[in-house]
A and B are shown apart, each in its own frame.
Chain A
Amino acid sequence: MKKGYMKAAAVFFILMAVFTLLSRAIYNMGTVEVMAARPESITIKKEIEGTGIVSGKTEQAVVTTEGLLIEKVFVKEGESVAKDDILFQLDAEYLKDKITEKEQELKQLQLQIQDAKNAAYAAEQSRQLSISQAQSDYDKTVSDKDAEVAQALEELEAARSELEAYQSSPESYPDKNEEELQSAVKEKEDAYNEAVKNREDSVYEAQKALDTANLEVAEDSAVEQNEIQSEKIQKELDELAALQKVEGKIKSTIAGAVTSVAVRAGDTTSGTGDILIMDASEGLELSIVFSDEYREYLTKGKSVTVTSADSTEETKEKLKKLSIDSVTSERGDEVTAGDGSETGTMDGEVTVTVDIPAGTLEIGDTATLKISLSEETYDTCIPLSALHQKEKGKYYVNVLDEQVSVMGDTQIVRYVDVELIDQNDKYAAVEGLASSQEVITETSKEVQEGTRVVKRSEE
């Protein structure tokens, strides 16, 4: 019986030992490893930096005749080229066919021009003949009708004279009577009037025919159009011949870097900039876009530093002493919420351009522009990773706090509200923190107020 109790006691204590180890292990698993640092006095240089690609100041487009088949393309985007480097090659057979096609087109146009000229000449000749004939008809009509009118007038006057003579001495004309003579006068008057009217009508008709013959024929511009077209084709032909002369090799006329290759082998030329080359001969520049909030700091002439992995030791010194050459700013666009409830302004941008001295960098090099905005020393600075934002404008840090408990001295997390005074990309100057307090900069898991932590020693 006593041995039984001894065994029970032994088992109990062994179990308690096992559970002691297990509970400790589980307790340690719940402990978060953290890195901590004390606040220090640091000079915060507010610097901004941006990374971009060094570019030339001007860009040139490589243009050839439209519609030519490209056989090979020798360059790609970002590649540097020297003057007279071959950029792409046109297909010789296609070029030859194109030239032949243009020559035939030109000949066709020339024949059309000749035909049009001949037709115009013949039309003019015909018109002149018509005018001449109409004039002759008019003259003949006028003279014939004048003669008829004169004849009718003569007859009328004779009849009137006969009547007057009878009336003055009727007995002289016994075989005539006044009635017959008056009737004859009337008849002659009618005939005269008829002749006058007839003359007028005939002259009018002849005049009309003459006027019609004199009408200007509408000018035909077909010849001129064809001449313009043929000039154009001739020009194209000259261009094609020039290309054929250089075996279809399109070369670069400047030294620089290829910024755009819009064509591939098998494509046809577009007639616009198939390849764009950044001109290196007119100087290099670096343009970086910054947020509008730095507008007041970015002024022309401000000192800047450019760094690049592609620069040599020699050029690094030159790149440290540059200044801003131009600043262009763009205001933000006004935007309205989808339901129209709010209108705001999007952040604008400021573009800073810096001239890069010759011989330091090349087009296409990646460079970082650093601009120092302000510099001040603060006593209580903490790594930026230790600062947390509670809500807008309100910050807090996690500090290590000693807690005495049954498990001995343990470290726990405590929140401390701080006020942010200034910051750069690595440090933040704060107020409300004692220099002896250690702030937590990194954690292996998320922590809250009261979480048990253990400080990881720096390797």
Chain B
Amino acid sequence: MWKKAAAAVLGLLTFICCYPVVFIITGVFMGDQELQKNLAAVLQGGSGYAHWSILPRTPTLKNIVEILLDTPQFFVMFWNSVKTTGGVLLGQMLIAAPAAWGLSKYRFPMRRLLFFLYIILMMMPFQVTMLSSYLVLKELNILNTLWALILPGIFSTFSVFIMYNAFCAVPDALLEAARIDGAGEWRIFVRIGLPVGLPGIISAGVLSFLEYWNLVEQPMTFLEDQSLWPLSLFLPQIGAENVGMAFAASVLTLIPSMIVFFAGAEYLEKGISSLGLKE
């Protein structure tokens, strides 16, 4: 009985957590007039509260058609987001994974200091490093290009941290045995480190995807050309007169995140739990 009560409470809380998604999906099929009426208090500065209904009174596909066929700007931004996120994930595979492996498995001078710096940098919000990043990117002449988002993302410390903990779970004895068998360090990393640490790598990848798919501040700071803006900046452009399109854009923006999350949920769970594991 307690289990049932607990399940009911959790179910209710889950629904409350999921309600914004339901809210968005129903909003996609609502007509402009119904949306204006429901959200008048919010959008037009009226008094009172906003209203909502689960089922639209006048359902329409206009918002979906408009976003898919009449808004090429959405797709420009979508593919910018894909390029940015894809570039970051690929770069992290090439840079962050070996960095995490090195930190976790090799002993070298100032290793602890370096790891400490990684943690401090990981905790710093973007606003703190924004100016210094801007100056560095300006010197590198990559401001107003997608590399201004991709390069800092590739060298992000958060994914190193997640992978570090995953690689720490790889038994040293296994590595020793491999060395004895004549395996080189690179082979050990590729044949042992990566497969064993895969949950951590994938969870780092999922979290990086979620972070860089929803990037807002960096594009606004480092990108001047609107044609380079990612999808996360599409919604701020929409006004009260096209709220329906905002809902449709939100759903389309949500879909890749949901696919990635659900595909990597298992690994994410393992990866996060590995943060608490000790050697």
- Residues on A lying within 8 angstroms of B by beta carbon are 2, 5-6, 8-9, 12-13, 16, 19-20, 22-24, 26-27, 404-408
Contact, CB under 8 Å: A9 / B256: yes
Please state if B71 and A23 are interface contacts (CB–CB under 8 Å). Answer: yes
In the complex, are the beta carbons of A20 and B75 less than 8 A apart? yes
A-B contact pairs, 21 of them (CB 8 A): A2-B263, A6-B263, A8-B259, A12-B255, A16-B252, A19-B68, A19-B69, A19-B75, A20-B78, A20-B79, A22-B68, A23-B72, A26-B70, A27-B70, A27-B72, A404-B226, A404-B227, A405-B227, A406-B73, A407-B76, A408-B225
Chain B residues near A (Cβ < 8 Å) = 68-79, 82, 225-227, 229, 252, 255-256, 259-260, 262-263
Chain A binding surface, main DSSP class: helix
Chain B residue numbers with a CB within 8 Å of A20 are 72, 75, 78-79
Q: Known interface pairs A405-B227, A406-B227. Does A23 touch B255 (Cβ–Cβ under 8 Å)? A: no
Across chains A and B, the number of contacting residue pairs, with CB separation under 8 Å, is 58
The residue in chain A whose Cβ has the minimal distance to the Cβ of B263 is A5
A2 to B259, alpha carbons, bound, how many Å?
10
With a cutoff of 8 Å between Cβ atoms, the chain A residues found around residue B70 in the complex are 23, 26-27
A27–B74 Cα gap in the complex (Å)?
A: 12
Shortest C-beta distance, B260 to chain A (Å), equals 8
Most buried by A among B73, B229, B252, B259: B259
What secondary structure prevails in chain B residues at the interface with A? helix
Which residues from chain A contact B71 at a C-beta distance below 8 Å?
A: 23
B262 touches A406 (CB 8 A): no
Given contacts A16-B75, A19-B75, A23-B71, contact A407 B227 (CB under 8 A): yes
B138 to chain A, nearest CB (A): 20
Q: Collect the chain A residues with CB atoms within 8 Å of residue B229's CB.
A: 406
Q: Are B263 and A23 in contact (CB under 8 A)?
A: no
By beta carbon, the residue of chain B nearest A26 is B69
* Nearest opposing residue in chain B for A403, CB measure: B226
* Residues of A with C-beta under 8 A to B72: 20, 23-24, 26-27, 407
Closest 8 CB pairs of A and B: A5-B263, A406-B73, A20-B75, A23-B72, A27-B72, A408-B227, A19-B68, A406-B226
Residues of B within 8 A of A6 (CB): 263
A408 — which chain B residues lie within 8 A by C-beta?
Answer: 225, 227
Compute how far the CA of A19 lies from the CA of B77 in the bound complex, rounded to whole angstroms. Answer: 13
Q: Which residue of A lies closest to B76 (CB)?
A: A406
Please give, as numbers and ranges, the residues of chain B lying within 8 Å of A24 by CB-CB distance.
72, 75
C-alpha spacing A96/B256, complex, angstroms: 109
Q: A20-B78, A23-B74 are in contact. List 19 more A-B contacts (CB 8 A).
A: A6-B263, A9-B259, A9-B260, A12-B255, A12-B259, A16-B78, A19-B75, A20-B72, A20-B75, A23-B71, A23-B75, A24-B75, A26-B69, A26-B70, A27-B70, A406-B76, A407-B73, A408-B225, A408-B227
